[in-house]
Structure formats: C-alpha cells, structure tokens
Amino acid sequence: MSAALKVGAVVITMGNRPDELRALLESVAKQDGDPVEVVVVGNGSPVPDVPEGVRTIELPENLGIPGGRNVGIEAFGPGGRDVDILLFLDDDGLLARTDTAELCRRAFAADPRLGIISFRIADPDTGVTQRRHVPRLRASDPMRSSRVTTFLGGANAVRTRVFAEVGGLPDAFFYAHEETDLAWRALDAGWMIDYRSDMVLYHPTTAPSRHAVYHRMVARNRVWLARRNLPAPLVPVYLGVWLLLTLVRRPSRPALKAWFGGFREGWTTPCGPRRPMKWRTVWRLTRLGRPPVI
C-alpha cells in the first residue's frame, strides 16, 4: 500500500548556497523506493545548477518562505494533487538516511488521519538537536517521537489532501509562524501531526534571530495567527502570555523595539480570513500537551 503513495519534494532557495543545495538534492535522489520528483523554486533569484531531472521555477521577486513553498506546491498540480505526499526541505539541509521517503509512505499509509510529519533536525557535526527544533513543550528528549500540534517548516512531509481541504500556507506571513497557521487549520479539520525522531534532516546549528526581520515578523505574525485562528476569548490570553514571555527573555533594546513595532503592525494590518478553530480543537490541542494559549 505504501509503495502506491507518490512522493514529491519542494525546495526553495535564494541561490546563495549552491553546494549545499546540490548535496541536498543528491540525498533526495538516493532515497529508497520510487524516485522522488523534486521542484526547486528560486525565490527572487536564479536557481543554481541542479542535477538532471530536477524541475526549477525562478520567481521574479522574493515571495517569502510560505509564498515560495506555495508556488512549489502548485507545481505538482492544484494543491499538489499530482502526488500524495510533499516533502519540504531547507536548501542547506541534508537527508541523513536513505529510507526517509519510504518511512513517510509507510506512516501515511498506516494512519489515514495523519496529515503532517515533522522531522528531527540534527547538527551534521555533533548530531545535537536544538530544543527549539522539537515542536512540543516537553522538548528535553528529542529522540522521543510523539503526536504534536505544530511542525518544522524546512523539514517535514505533508499529505497533499491537507492542502486540498484547508488550503496552503499563508503567503502574507512571509517568514515565521506560517507552519503553526497551517497546523492549526489541519488539526481543526481533524488531521493529526506527528514528530518523528527517526526521520532526520541534517542542518547546521543556527539562531533564528540571524534574520534581520526576525523580531518584527515573529511579533506581527503571532498576532495574525491569533486573530485568524483562535476563538475570540483566547486571543488576548494567547498574546498576553507571549508578551510576558518576550519580556522575561530580556531581548536587547533594538530587538524589543522591533518586536513591539511588529506587535502593533499585527493589530493594525489585515491578517487574512478569520476562521476560528472549534472549541473541541482547543481541547484536542490541550490534550496533546500544548493548549493554544502558549
């Protein structure tokens, strides 16, 4: 049954990591089972040389991470329907094993309500998985697989029926929290999300704050996330908790200024369609260990 599931992969690139991109594509080509069809999206930049058989799309402008990935999804037909599963992989990552695609096929075939799988990200030199890369509150043991409430954007697999049912990633987010927006919509539609420690993407250890827009985007998009998806009584609770957590972490003065600017922007700009999750979804998130107030 798993062999019948067709797998594709979407990689977005800014064209500035040609060696890493080629290594990633080679690791995808080495996957066991039927070949994985790959689309590389140049997000406002030319695509470097890629192996024969890899499709490329060059966008005239940078659409951001969700926008670029949505273009990649549509390259496999509306909502990605030409394949059953899509892998989303960072262009400087590397699949650690040759059985990852086959493990995905088996997982999705065995559980018809499984919609998304989040891979484990590990440093290629040390093998260490950063705590922030384990998508649950109890993150001390990255080797423990579990059901979760969100996933990692550059190391995951999605059943394409999820896109057909709930739509793609939110283009306007550009960077940050777009995965949680999709995850909440998928959970609200009855899909499940798994974190799998045996599906590994090697990726150099980095800090998310290396991106100049990090603090503003994180704050703005968190407000948008709440406004779009949470029942009205939970919106101020969720954002109040994150405001307190941000202050406790004591960011630098420029970072805090950028954060408050993004927080204000999140309230004063359109967030897209509002579809608050059902209260039973709130309870499901709570039972899975992450109530939607943190």
- Interacting residues of 123 by C-beta distance below 8 A, sequence separation 6+: 129, 130, 202, 203, 204, 205
**Closest among 83, 74, 87 to 31, alpha carbons compared:** 87
Q: How far apart are CA 224 and CA 263, in angstroms?
A: 9
- Provide the residue-wise pLDDT of the chain in tens; the chain has 294 residues: 566 999 999 999 999 999 999 999 999 999 999 999 999 999 999 999 999 999 999 999 999 999 999 999 999 999 999 999 999 999 999 999 999 999 999 999 999 999 999 999 999 999 999 999 999 999 999 999 999 999 999 999 999 999 999 999 999 999 999 999 999 999 999 999 999 999 999 999 877 655 558 999 999 999 999 999 999 999 999 999 999 999 999 999 999 999 999 999 999 999 999 999 999 999 999 999 999 998
Q: How far apart are CA 51 and CA 233, in angstroms?
A: 51
* Cα–Cα distances in angstroms (integers) from residue 5 to residues 15, 103, 105, 160, in the given order: 31, 11, 6, 11
- The structure's pTM equals 0.96
CB-count exposure of residue 53 (10 Å: 0-12, 13-18, 19+)? exposed
Cα 289 to chain center, whole Å? 19
Map tokens 């202050």 to a residue.
247
CB-count exposure of residue 202 (10 Å: 0-12, 13-18, 19+)? buried
Q: How far apart are CA 200 and CA 116, in angstroms?
A: 15
- Please report the pLDDT score of residue 69 as a whole number: 98
pLDDT in tens, 58-79: 999 999 999 999 999 999 999 9
Map tokens 């029926």 to a residue.
161
- Interacting residues of 178 by C-beta distance below 8 A, sequence separation 6+: 65, 66, 153, 169, 170, 221
Bridge partner list, 170:
none
Q: What is the DSSP letter of 127?
A: -
- Please report the pLDDT score of residue 3 as a whole number: 65
DSSP string, 31-82: -SSSPPEEEEEESSSPPPP--TT-EEEE-SS--HHHHHHHHHHHTTSGGGTT
Q: How far apart are CA 27 and CA 96, in angstroms?
A: 8
Contact yes or no for 194/136 (Cβ under 8 A): no
